[in-house]
């Protein structure tokens, strides 16, 4: 899937209704000289790219000067933006929201305008970074929790405690409940009202719609979440093979809310991603959950997870897409089970009057699939709020990507033939399939086992139990494993899915490495020279046949590929969220895992003289960052570095205001590795990096340890926070 611009443009030309688009362009900015600025190309860019840790083509530094220009590099504990841009903090962890607080690890952002320069900002709070959360909790929230006592007890059993089984009067259970409760309060989503003042800054206006929907909503306050679709039939069963929470279709809370999407009718969809960190993922053939004991509470120096355990939360109620109307103060969310249960990431909508609604979503696990829901009924008015009902009936499909650039959709329904993915086709040769009759999954590693599975079960209906509706519900609950059994393509951690103005779907695949969950199809997910595994990710583009939301076939191609420029990559690693501006440029943020940030690379070969793996050189890419990529014209597929996040953070949730003057951005988990940065602590590290010609040289890099962001001081606790980025001249961030 090399980025071959000629092929890509041919592909663009062949698709329906491409439009002429600008290219991150706007009037040139004058002036230079800042250490974080590189020579601009003033004729084509609306900003001067910031200087990243690696030489990039867009730097316009001649190859003879690259070694000199990049032999020293200083990483900064701040959100670094191009000259002429600034940011304001709108809200941070611990701030008051409704009758609760601003949660931890903000991710997806959605701004819905209610009037000129005012509206609702809906914010996802994905997870808590255990170590840093515990280190800073008392200081930020103003109360202490019994972390050390519980940690000491848990240490006797590998950090794990099945609190669900403890007697209710056990004081340890009360302490675990207290910690779990506060952790779950810091997850979920929130709605805040904001408006822009005359000087261009955004402030909170605290309307009655401001509220939190937390990981534990409903538990003590009857603010249950609702559910639609066939999984409701499973939730309502009086008796099942596994654990039932006794609440029927009422659901306690939403957590691990990572990316999302905003509908044309003004609601927000919030994606429950790594729910398996808090509740058991596996289910029985009838779709009921494993006992809470299957995922005990865990606490150690790094993690505070399994927080559903003490409350007896049912695993099958998490891993869904949640719809919320920010404007309705009484709406605490609805989980639409037709959209499937898996490690959901962003959603994209194809909304065409007179056609069924299509909702796309990826499953961010190694070997996860791309899915499409198609509604039974058709859209009449795309802006009509009653469109939400379309998600209550339809069909869920999973994608098959053929190596030749074609693809098709497979229905996840009882009549679909079993035709499992062959382990020999996937990176790491691991394909998890439903384990029958025991429930849960079996890890299949040979083609012979997959063929035997196919001989044993004819259709998906043979793998799931109940009446027709209950079987459909169980398939949706177990969507990932059902999709593996049906032969959907294992992919490379699909993160964002975003719909371009021309109707094509852009999909960010974060990482092509295999792992304990599986790996991607190695015939499809390859590096520029066919290398597998390719860690650094891709952005693919999918065009439905006839641009039809209900199409059952599609074409796909590569738009951009992560990696070092000298190896044919675009200069970034691990693309995550995408956001289109009105000129058709796609803005992208990266998700290099925290453990890899600025990890030294003192050699490109090991002691045996062999090249070290891509995952071992990810440190060269520095901090997570923000990129702008034109989608048409001569610059299509090129990546321009717009910003760099503070230390140990992820830049998430980019969302443009309708006037394009503000880019809302979430800074997630600053200081996730080293916690509070104390007294400007910095380490000098060495990196073997490459010029654009592939010449290796040594870079000395100054790396702050920990973070104080958003404070600019030297002792403060780092806090996840949401910012508004704007130009100082009050012009749109990109202009045609
Ligand atoms: Fe939470 Fe897949 O990012
Ligand atoms: Ca994400
Ligand atoms: Ca997006
Ligand atoms: Ca991510």
Instruction: Dump pLDDT digits (tens) for 154-193.
Output: 999 999 999 999 999 999 999 999 999 999 999 999 999 9
Instruction: Judge if the beta carbon of residue 286 lies within 6 A of ligand 1.
Output: no
- The answer to whether residue 720 is domain-embedded is yes
Going by DSSP bridges, is the β-strand pair 356-363/494-499 parallel, antiparallel, or unpaired? unpaired
- Measured CA to CA, the distance from residue 461 to residue 502 in angstroms comes to 38
pLDDT at 25 over 60: no
Structure confidence at residue 20 (pLDDT) = 30
Q: Which ligand is nearest to the CA of 187?
A: 1
Report, as an integer, the average pLDDT of 51-59.
94
Largest separation between any pair of C-alpha atoms in the chain: 73
Token pair of 37 as six digits: 């600025």
Model confidence over 228-247: pLDDT tens digits? 999 999 999 989 999 999 99
The total number of structural domains that make up the chain: 1
pLDDT at 21 over 60: no
Structure confidence at residue 636 (pLDDT) = 87
Buried b (16+ CB within 10 A) or exposed e, 500-519: bebbbbbbbbbbbbbeebbb
- The answer to whether residue 415 is domain-embedded is no
Lowest mean pLDDT among 18-27, 102-111, 534-543: 18-27
Within its chain, how far is the Cα of 681 from the centroid? 30
Distance 112 CA to ligand 3 centre (A): 14
Distance 80 CA to ligand 4 centre (A): 20
Residues 6+ apart with CB under 8 A from 482: 412, 434, 460, 463, 464, 475
- The answer to whether residue 484 is domain-embedded is no
Structure confidence at residue 34 (pLDDT) = 30
pLDDT at 17 over 70: no
- Measured CA to CA, the distance from residue 720 to residue 105 in angstroms comes to 5
- Measured CA to CA, the distance from residue 566 to residue 55 in angstroms comes to 9
Q: Which of 3-12, 53-62, 104-113 has the highest mean pLDDT?
A: 104-113
Q: Which ligand is nearest to the CA of 500?
A: 3
How many of the other CB atoms lie within 10 Å of CB of 448? 11
Q: Find the length of the chain.
A: 736
Going by DSSP bridges, is the β-strand pair 321-324/268-272 parallel, antiparallel, or unpaired? antiparallel
Lowest mean pLDDT among 10-19, 68-77, 133-142, 419-428: 10-19
The fraction of the chain above a pLDDT of 70, given in percent, is: 94
Distance 446 CA to ligand 1 centre (A): 29
- Which ligand 1 atom sits closest to the C-alpha of 495? 2
Distance 234 CA to ligand 4 centre (A): 30
Contact 539, 511 (CB under 8 A): no
Distance 19 CA to ligand 1 centre (A): 31
The fraction of the chain above a pLDDT of 90, given in percent, is: 91
Residues 6+ apart with CB under 8 A from 607: none
- Which ligand 1 atom sits closest to the C-alpha of 343? 2
pLDDT at 43 over 70: no
Structure confidence at residue 44 (pLDDT) = 65
Residue nearest to atom 3 of ligand 1 (CA): 258
pLDDT at 38 over 60: no
Tokens 């006794």 -> residue: 246
Model confidence over 454-498: pLDDT tens digits? 999 999 999 999 999 999 999 999 999 999 999 999 999 999 999
From the number of C-beta atoms within 10 Å of its C-beta (0-12, 13-18, 19+), residue 520 rates as: buried
- Which ligand 1 atom sits closest to the C-alpha of 493? 2
- The answer to whether residue 539 is domain-embedded is no
Instruction: Judge if the beta carbon of residue 345 lies within 6 A of ligand 1.
Output: yes
Structure confidence at residue 12 (pLDDT) = 38
Report, as an integer, the average pLDDT of 668-682.
98
Secondary structure (3-state) at 276? helix
| DSSP of 14-42 | HSTT------S--SPPP----TTB----T
Buried b (16+ CB within 10 A) or exposed e, 452-469: ebbeebebbbbbbbbeee
Structure confidence at residue 249 (pLDDT) = 98
- Which ligand 1 atom sits closest to the C-alpha of 345? 2
Report, as an integer, the average pLDDT of 104-129.
98
Phi, psi angle pair for 57, to nearest 5°:
-60, -35
Residue nearest to atom 1 of ligand 1 (CA): 258
DSSP 164: G
DSSP 103: -
What residue numbers bound the domain in which 606 lies?
A: 39-91+562-736
Nearest C-alpha neighbor of 196 from the set 304, 129, 121: 121
Structure confidence at residue 363 (pLDDT) = 98
Report, as an integer, the average pLDDT of 583-606.
97
Of 32 and 437, the one with more pLDDT: 437
- Which ligand 1 atom sits closest to the C-alpha of 126? 1
Distance 713 CA to ligand 3 centre (A): 32
Apex 399 CA angle, 394 and 405, nearest 5: 135
- Measured CA to CA, the distance from residue 33 to residue 39 in angstroms comes to 9
- The answer to whether residue 68 is domain-embedded is yes
- Which ligand 1 atom sits closest to the C-alpha of 127? 1
How many of the other CB atoms lie within 10 Å of CB of 19? 11
Phi, psi angle pair for 472, to nearest 5°:
-60, -40
Report, as an integer, the average pLDDT of 357-377.
98
Structure confidence at residue 108 (pLDDT) = 98
pTM of the predicted model as reported, rounded to 2 decimal places? 0.94
Contact 357, 351 (CB under 8 A): yes
Report the mean per-residue pLDDT for the chain. Answer: 93
Instruction: Judge if the beta carbon of residue 364 lies within 6 A of ligand 1.
Output: yes
pLDDT at 308 over 90: yes
Model confidence over 696-720: pLDDT tens digits? 999 999 999 999 999 999 999 999 9
Report, as an integer, the average pLDDT of 48-77.
95
- Residue ranges with CB less than 5 Å from ion ligand 3: 346, 496, 498, 578
Structure confidence at residue 734 (pLDDT) = 81
- Measured CA to CA, the distance from residue 46 to residue 725 in angstroms comes to 14
- Measured CA to CA, the distance from residue 318 to residue 279 in angstroms comes to 8
Distance 500 CA to ligand 2 centre (A): 19
Instruction: Judge if the beta carbon of residue 277 lies within 6 A of ligand 1.
Output: no
Distance 720 CA to ligand 4 centre (A): 15
Nearest C-alpha neighbor of 227 from the set 257, 251, 252, 199: 251
- Measured CA to CA, the distance from residue 478 to residue 470 in angstroms comes to 12
Structure confidence at residue 460 (pLDDT) = 98
Model confidence over 679-694: pLDDT tens digits? 999 999 999 999 999 9
Can you list the alpha helix ranges (DSSP code H) found in 436-572?
447-456, 468-477, 479-486
pLDDT at 374 over 80: yes
Going by DSSP bridges, is the β-strand pair 334-336/226-228 parallel, antiparallel, or unpaired? parallel
Instruction: Judge if the beta carbon of residue 273 lies within 6 A of ligand 1.
Output: yes
- Measured CA to CA, the distance from residue 147 to residue 545 in angstroms comes to 55
User: pLDDT grade, residue 610 (50/70/90)?
Assistant: very high
Distance 591 CA to ligand 4 centre (A): 5
- The answer to whether residue 698 is domain-embedded is yes
User: pLDDT grade, residue 24 (50/70/90)?
Assistant: low
Q: Which ligand is nearest to the CA of 650?
A: 4
Q: Which ligand is nearest to the CA of 506?
A: 3
Residues 6+ apart with CB under 8 A from 279: 289, 292, 295, 308, 309, 313, 314, 315, 317, 318
Contact 189, 213 (CB under 8 A): yes
Structure confidence at residue 296 (pLDDT) = 98
Phi, psi angle pair for 721, to nearest 5°:
-155, 160
Question: In Å, how far are 610, 620, 685 from 690, measured between CA atoms?
Answer: 17, 10, 16
| DSSP of 640-671 | EEEEE--TT-EEEEEEE-TTSSEEEEEEE-TT
User: pLDDT grade, residue 60 (50/70/90)?
Assistant: confident
Of 429 and 9, the one with more pLDDT: 429
Token pair of 177 as six digits: 């409940």
- The answer to whether residue 710 is domain-embedded is yes
- Which ligand 1 atom sits closest to the C-alpha of 364? 2
pLDDT at 79 over 80: yes
Instruction: Judge if the beta carbon of residue 126 lies within 6 A of ligand 1.
Output: yes
Token pair of 720 as six digits: 């996840």
- The answer to whether residue 725 is domain-embedded is yes
Q: Which ligand is nearest to the CA of 126?
A: 1
- Which ligand 1 atom sits closest to the C-alpha of 510? 2
Distance 107 CA to ligand 2 centre (A): 7
Token pair of 366 as six digits: 């190694």
pLDDT at 251 over 70: yes
pLDDT at 29 over 80: no
Structure confidence at residue 33 (pLDDT) = 28
Report, as an integer, the average pLDDT of 367-388.
98
Q: Which ligand is nearest to the CA of 346?
A: 3
Question: In Å, how far are 208, 258, 558, 581 from 254, measured between CA atoms?
Answer: 21, 11, 34, 30
Distance 350 CA to ligand 1 centre (A): 22
């Amino acid at each position: 899937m090399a980025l071959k611009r000629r092929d890509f443009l041919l592909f663009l030309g062949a698709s329906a209704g491409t439009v002429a688009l600008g290219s991150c362009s706007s009037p040139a900015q004058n002036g230079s000289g800042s250490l974080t600025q590189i020579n601009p190309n003033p004729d084509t860019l609306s900003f001067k790219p910031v200087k990243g840790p690696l030489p990039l083509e867009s730097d316009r530094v001649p190859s003879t000067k690259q070694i000199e220009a990049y032999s020293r590099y200083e990483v900064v504990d701040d959100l670094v933006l191009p000259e002429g841009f600034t940011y304001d903090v709108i809200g941070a962890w611990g701030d008051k929201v409704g009758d609760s607080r601003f949660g931890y690890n903000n991710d997806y952002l959605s701004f819905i305008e209610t009037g000129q320069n005012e509206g609702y900002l809906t914010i996802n709070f994905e997870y808590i970074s255990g170590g840093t959360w515990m280190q800073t909790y008392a200081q930020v929230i103003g109360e202490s929790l019994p972390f050390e006592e519980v940690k000491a007890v848990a240490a006797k059993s590998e950090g794990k405690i099945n609190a669900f089984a403890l007697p209710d009067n056990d004081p340890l259970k009360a302490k675990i409940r207290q910690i779990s409760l506060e952790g779950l309060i810091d997850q979920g989503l929130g709605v805040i009202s904001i408006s822009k003042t005359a000087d261009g800054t955004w402030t909170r206006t605290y309307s009655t719609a401001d509220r939190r929907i937390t990981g534990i909503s409903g538990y003590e306050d009857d603010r249950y979440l609702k559910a639609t679709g066939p999984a409701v039939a499973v939730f309502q069963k009086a008796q099942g093979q596994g654990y039932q929470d006794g609440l029927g279709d009422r659901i306690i809370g939403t957590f691990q809310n990572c990316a999302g999407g905003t509908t044309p009718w003004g609601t927000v969809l919030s994606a429950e991603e790594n729910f398996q960190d808090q509740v058991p993922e596996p289910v029985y053939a009838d779709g009921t959950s494993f006992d809470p004991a299957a995922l005990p509470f865990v606490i150690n120096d790094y993690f505070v997870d399994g927080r559903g355990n003490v409350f007896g939360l049912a695993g099958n109620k998490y891993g869904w897409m949640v719809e919320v109307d920010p404007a309705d103060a009484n709406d605490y969310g609805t989980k639409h089970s037709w959209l499937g249960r898996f490690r959901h990431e962003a959603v994209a909508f194809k909304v065409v009057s007179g056609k069924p609604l299509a909702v796309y979503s990826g499953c961010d696990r190694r070997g996860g699939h791309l899915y499409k829901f198609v509604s039974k009924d058709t859209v009449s008015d795309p802006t009509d709020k009653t469109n939400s009902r379309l998600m209550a009936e339809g069909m869920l499909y999973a994608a098959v990507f053929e190596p030749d650039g074609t693809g098709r959709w497979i229905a996840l329904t009882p009549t679909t033939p079993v035709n499992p993915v062959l382990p020999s086709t996937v990176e790491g040769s691991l394909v998890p399939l439903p384990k029958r009759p025991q429930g849960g999954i079996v890890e299949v590693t040979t083609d012979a086992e997959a063929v035997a599975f196919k001989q044993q079960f004819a259709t998906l209906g043979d793998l799931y139990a109940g009446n027709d509706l209950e079987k459909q519900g169980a398939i949706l609950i177990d969507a990932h494993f059902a999709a593996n059994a049906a032969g959907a393509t294992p992919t490379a951690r699909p993160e964002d899915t975003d719909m371009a103005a021309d109707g094509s779907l852009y999909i960010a695949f974060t990482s092509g490495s295999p792992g304990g969950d599986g790996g991607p199809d190695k015939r499809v997910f390859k590096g520029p020279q066919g290398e597998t595994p390719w860690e650094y990710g891709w952005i693919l583009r999918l065009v439905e046949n006839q641009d039809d939301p209900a199409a059952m076939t599609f074409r796909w191609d590569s738009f951009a590929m992560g990696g070092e420029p000298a190896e044919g990559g675009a200069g970034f690693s691990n693309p995550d969220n995408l956001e289109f501006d009105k000129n058709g440029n796609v803005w992208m943020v990266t998700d290099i895992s925290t453990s890899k940030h600025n990890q030294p690379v003192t050699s490109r070969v090991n002691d045996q003289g062999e090249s070290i793996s891509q995952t071992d050189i990810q440190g060269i890419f520095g901090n997570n960052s923000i990129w702008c990529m034109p989608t048409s014209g001569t610059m299509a597929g090129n990546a321009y570095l717009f910003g760099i996040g503070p230390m140990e953070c992820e830049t998430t949730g980019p969302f443009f205001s309708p006037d394009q003057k503000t880019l809302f951005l979430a800074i997630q988990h600053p200081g996730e590795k080293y916690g509070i940065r104390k007294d400007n602590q910095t380490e000098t590290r060495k990196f073997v990096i490459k010029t654009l010609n592939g010449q290796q040289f040594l870079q000395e890099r100054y790396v702050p340890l920990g973070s104080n962001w958003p404070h600019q001081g030297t002792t403060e606790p780092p806090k996840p926070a949401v910012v508004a980025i704007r130009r100082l001249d009050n012009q749109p961030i990109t202009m045609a």
